[in-house]
Chains A and B, each alone.
Chain A
Amino acid sequence: MIPAIFVFIYLAAVVYIGIFAFRRSEGVKAEDFFLANRSLGTFVFLFSLFGTNMTAVAILGSSGHAFTNGIVTYGLMASSSGLVIPLTIFLIGTRVWALGKKYGFITPVQIFRDRWECGHIGTVIFAVQAVLLVPYIIIGIMGGGTTLSAISGGFVPYWLGGAVVAMVVMSYVFFGGMRGTAWVNTFQTILFLVFGVIAISVIGAGMGGFRSAAEAIGSSPATSWLLTRERISPYYFFSYTFIPLSAIAFPHILIFCLTAKRMVQFKKTVIFYPLCILLIWLPCVFLGVMANRTAGEIPAIRAKQEARRVLAQQGKTMTPEQREEVREQASGDDVILHLLHHYAPLWLAGILGAGIMAAVMASDSQILALSTMFTEDVFAFYGGRRRFGEGAQVQTGRIFVIVLTVLAYVVALRAPETIFEIAIQYAFSGFAALSPLMIAALFWRGSTKWGALASTVWVALAVTAVAIFQQTTPAPPPGPPAVFWTVGGTEVLARTPSGTSVFGFMPVVPMVLVSALLMFVVSKLTPKPSEATVAKYFS
């Protein structure tokens, strides 16, 4: 219970930051509430942009995935992100910032509407973005529930932990808007950067150093694969490099790009982004792998390994429901919490638990982004601001924050999949496939609203198709995928233990490529925006 007290102190601190930000706000101006008046300095911009991109996946998901899959986790998700995300911020984020400063844009859809001279197509893009963003918000609440429950040793049940996290996030977003969210994110990023260093030192000391554990894992045929990538296909590994394209298509990241005071603030962000990823992910992935040597000391981890063994040996004879149940038991999302519980002194486990809470509560900027998008792209666009004024727009945004958080919480209570799977399969792949929209808008004169619509509809259909396929086709046991469709002996569509494969790649690859192709072909066949509009963006 003592660690949980530290976490509650931390939660109180972030609510206070939100209220403090509220006091610094300049009345009820939309640009102040939604963009902190475009005034963030270098330090807050770097840490808040980074923090907003690090969700429960960063600490709980990464260590859990590494516990089950080994070191491949870092190459899959961290190192490719460390290249692609800062590169897209450098190329796209800076341009979006400049457009925002010049023309007063607050959301990506406003840019699309202006660039392609469209109205309702912008609303379609908003709807698809909103639907894809919701799972991301759910991740935060699920992570909060899991974390509080584990840190308190079960004293705080999952449903209550999720409710507390939802309430806290809702409070500081409601009061502080973008300023509160950015400050809290900065505070959180500092906490979980410190977390990695302390966690690895404390757990390493508790385990008597990692040398013997690494040696033992590498020497045993049963576990040596955890230190390699032999169980992952190179196609699957390559597919993952498409996932970080999602970052710059996420509305909350693009909206964050509009908050910088000057463009020079982007410089340190793109340079330090890969290093921040290194500092957080490397310790978490390493600890997740090393957790496999703690089964003798930690019963909960032994139970997970036992479930993994049962799944591998008896998975083929189980019903899909039984398999799903055992898969959940084997899930490693909370291994790092068990390590802290076992190896860290109580007070330190509390501080480190607060660091984990910092990571899992990153859904704040997604909630704020959706609220911003709703009030700007729907409420204001369809005449709400004209009729009711800017004050009503800000209040609508605040009400939207409450409604959205409550809905996300209800879904989080019922969602059966692991944190990691939900994030990757729906939100990340969908947004990666939406990235050609912004690239075309900024870099290709010939792009049109119909090309944008074709890409957006494709993304919506593809995400729905993958979701239906995975819901109706039970996941096979660990091992080779269940092939669903072949053409001339070539595997086209298969159900893998953790998702879907298309020609051996993850669905994100064909989703992105077809989206880009549709943008190109349909734009070629349809009328361009007026010369004046094209000149505005390309003169």
Chain B
Amino acid sequence: MKRALLVLAVASLYVLHQDIWFWRTPRPLVFGVIPIGLFYHGCFSVAASLLMWLLVRHAWPGHLEQEVEGAAREGGEER
């Protein structure tokens, strides 16, 4: 279930990149200077970072490191 939600979150963010709703409008200018389309994609970068944090927290492939450590231990014992 957790994995399915994370996949859904990744897919959703990918779809949200195609923001056709701000395609033709420069306004509002956020803080009086940043066009809304640019501000949206700045926020998108922050959202991507949060998504990566979620992936690291809930889907970290820790078994890979354990396998490496196991293999290193076996190698050491053989020697």
Residues in chain A within 8 A of chain B (CB atoms): 71-72, 74-75, 78-80, 82-83, 86-87, 90, 94-95, 97-98, 101-102, 209-211, 214-215, 218, 224, 227-230, 234, 237-238, 241, 262-264, 267, 270-275, 277-278, 282, 285-286
A478 to chain B, nearest CB (A): 18
Q: Which of B18, B41, B51 has the most CB of A within 10 A?
A: B41
How far is B46's CA from A209's CA once the two chains are assembled, in angstroms? 25
**Contact present for A98 and B46 (CB under 8 Å):** no
On whether the beta carbons of A275 and B45 are closer than 8 Å, the reply is: yes
Question: What's the least CB distance linking A114 to chain B, in Å?
Answer: 15
* Pairwise interchain contact B49-A227, C-beta atoms closer than 8 A: no
| Pairwise interchain contact B67-A227, C-beta atoms closer than 8 A | no
A264 contacts B53, CB within 8 Å? Answer: no
Are A215 and B25 within 8 A (Cβ)?
no
How does the 8 Å CB contact mask read for B20-36 relative to A, with 1 for contact and 0 for none? 10111111010011110
Query: By the criterion CB–CB under 8 Å, are A87 and B38 in contact?
Result: no
Alpha-carbon distance A264/B62, docked complex (angstroms)? 9
How far is the CB of A245 from the nearest CB of chain B, in Å?
Answer: 12
B34 partner residues in chain A, CB cutoff 8 A: 214, 286
Interface residues on B, range: 35 or more
Interface string of B49-79 (1 = CB under 8 A from A): 1011101100011101101100110000000
Q: How far is the CB of A468 from chain B (nearest CB, A)?
A: 31
- Bound-state CA distance A238–B23 (Å) is 13
20 more A-B contacts (CB under 8 A) besides A83-B51, A95-B64, A271-B53? A71-B37, A79-B41, A79-B42, A87-B52, A94-B61, A98-B64, A211-B32, A214-B35, A215-B29, A224-B26, A227-B35, A228-B25, A228-B37, A229-B22, A241-B14, A263-B64, A273-B52, A274-B45, A275-B49, A278-B46
| Contacts A94-B64, A210-B33, A224-B26; A270 near B17 (Cβ below 8 A) | no
Query: Does B8 lie at the interface of the complex (its beta carbon under 8 Å from any beta carbon of A)?
Result: no
- Is A234 in contact with B18, judged by CB distance below 8 angstroms? yes
Residues of B within 8 A of A237 (CB): 18
Secondary structure type dominating chain B contacts? helix
> Which of A79, A214, A224, A273 gathers the greatest number of chain B CB atoms within 10 Å?
A79
Binding site for A on B (CB under 8 A): 10, 13-14, 17-20, 22-27, 29, 32-35, 37-38, 41-42, 44-46, 48-49, 51-53, 55-56, 60-62, 64-65, 67-68, 71-72
A72, A78, A263: which has the most chain B beta carbons within 10 Å? A263
CB distance from A481 to the nearest CB of B (A): 19
Does B38 contact A98, Cβ atoms closer than 8 Å? no
Contact A263 B68 (CB under 8 A): yes
Residues of A within 8 A of B22 (CB): 228-229
Once the chains bind, are B14 and A83 in contact (CB under 8 Å)? yes
Give the distance in Å from the alpha carbon of A71 to the alpha carbon of B29 in the complex. 13
Of A101, A218, A241, which contacts B27 at CB under 8 A?
Answer: A218
Give Cα A74 to B48, complex, Å: 14
Q: Given the known inter-chain contacts A95-B64, A271-B56, A282-B38, please indicate yes or no for A234 contacting B20, CB distance below 8 A.
A: yes
